[in-house]
C-alpha cells in the first residue's frame, strides 16, 4: 500500500504493504494479508481477518466475526451477516463465519451468520447461504443448495 487511499476511513487496521487498498473504503480494526486487493466502497469492521492473495470487489460488507482465509475471491455486492436475530435495541449474539481457502463467492450473495464456506467452494451469484457449504461444493439459490462439485487442477 504505497499511499493512503482518498476519502477513506482506516482506523486501527493492520494492512500488509503488498496489499492494494482502493479509494473510499472503511476499514476498522481489521487485518489484511499479503497481496490482497480491497476495491472501493468496501466496509470491513473490527476483528475481521482477510488472508493473503484475496480479492474483495466493490460494495462488499464484512462485519465483525468474519475470517476470510487465503486465495478467496468475493464478487461485488456480497453481504455477510453476523447475528441471527438482529434487533435495534438490546443484546446481540455474534456468530463467527469462516470462508476457507480458495473459495469464491458470486455477486450479490448474502452469507448468513455462523456459516463455514469450505475450501474451493463456489457460491453462485445472488445466493442466500443459510447452512455450511462443504469443501469443493457449488451452491446456488435462495436458500443456497448444492448443485454440483467444483474440480480444481
* 31, three cell numbers: 487485518
Determine the pLDDT at residue 3: 57
pTM (two decimals): 0.93
Domains and CATH numbers, the chain: 9-149 (2.160.10.10)
Specify the higher pLDDT residue, 115 or 2: 115
Residue 8: what pLDDT?
Answer: 78
> 94-145: per-residue pLDDT in tens?
999 999 999 999 999 999 999 999 999 999 999 999 999 999 999 999 999 9
The pLDDT value recorded for residue 2 is 45
For residues 93 and 78, give the distance between their C-alpha atoms in angstroms, rounded to a whole number. Answer: 21
Considering the chain, what percentage of its residues have pLDDT values greater than 90?
Answer: 83
Mean pLDDT of 38-46: 96
Cβ atoms of 100 and 116 within 8 Å: the answer is yes
Amino acid at each position: 500500500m504505497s499511499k493512503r487511499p482518498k476519502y477513506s476511513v482506516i482506523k486501527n487496521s493492520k494492512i500488509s504493504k503488498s496489499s492494494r487498498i482502493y479509494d473510499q473504503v472503511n476499514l476498522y480494526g481489521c487485518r489484511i494479508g499479503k497481496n490482497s486487493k480491497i476495491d472501493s466502497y468496501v466496509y470491513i469492521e473490527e476483528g475481521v481477518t482477510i488472508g493473503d492473495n484475496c480479492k474483495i470487489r466493490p460494495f462488499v460488507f464484512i462485519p465483525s466475526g468474519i475470517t476470510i482465509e487465503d486465495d478467496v475471491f468475493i464478487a461485488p455486492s456480497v453481504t455477510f451477516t453476523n447475528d441471527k436475530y438482529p434487533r435495534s435495541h438490546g443484546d446481540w449474539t455474534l456468530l463467527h463465519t469462516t470462508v476457507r481457502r480458495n473459495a469464491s463467492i458470486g455477486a450479490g450473495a448474502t452469507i448468513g451468520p455462523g456459516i463455514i464456506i469450505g475450501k474451493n467452494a463456489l457460491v453462485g451469484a445472488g445466493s442466500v447461504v443459510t447452512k455450511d457449504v462443504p469443501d469443493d461444493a457449488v451452491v446456488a439459490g435462495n436458500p443456497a443448495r448444492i448443485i454440483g462439485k467444483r474440480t480444481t487442477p
